[in-house]
Amino acid sequence: MPWSDEPKAAFVAMQFEAQSAHYAEHYTGMTSDVVVIDGDDAGRLLVARWAREIRIVDVALLPSFRGRGAGGELLPSSWTRRSRWARRSASTSSARTARSGSTGGRGFRPVGEAGVHLRMQWDPPVP
């Protein structure tokens, strides 16, 4: 946008506040972890855990960590940990991903869509 720095900062702050309010309303008890890559704080991972589902609410990386495979390295290990937990607790794991993102090939399948996002889901094996 051809805005000066001040309106851009105000817009980003407003969007962050709206997102935070949405998450607080819909994901009570959500955990927030700092993503560390090569010893540097690289972003955040927000996860909601319910009785029958684990939801990756948000993954955000700082610009300097984007476009070099950091997200690809993060999600497989994140999903693997959560999938192991889900197997033990018979919980479903899910996330909304950008259509360009992928959790396919790790046992997740698309189960819905909303605009530019796909809802991906992993179901525990039936005993």
| pLDDT tens for each residue of 71-107 | 656 554 455 555 665 556 656 667 766 655 555 555 6
Nearest to 38 by CA among 9, 15, 62: 62
Percent of the chain residues topping a pLDDT of 70 = 69
Which residues have CB under 8 Å from 65's CB, separation 6+? 37, 42, 43
| pLDDT tens for each residue of 42-77 | 998 888 888 877 787 888 889 998 887 776 565 544
Percent of the chain residues topping a pLDDT of 90 = 23
End-to-end alpha-carbon separation of the chain, Å? 53
**Domain map of the chain by residue range?**
5-122
| CATH fold for the domain made of 5-122 | Aminopeptidase (3.40.630)
Q: Are 67 and 110 in contact (CB under 8 A)?
A: no
Nearest to 61 by CA among 49, 47, 73, 79: 73
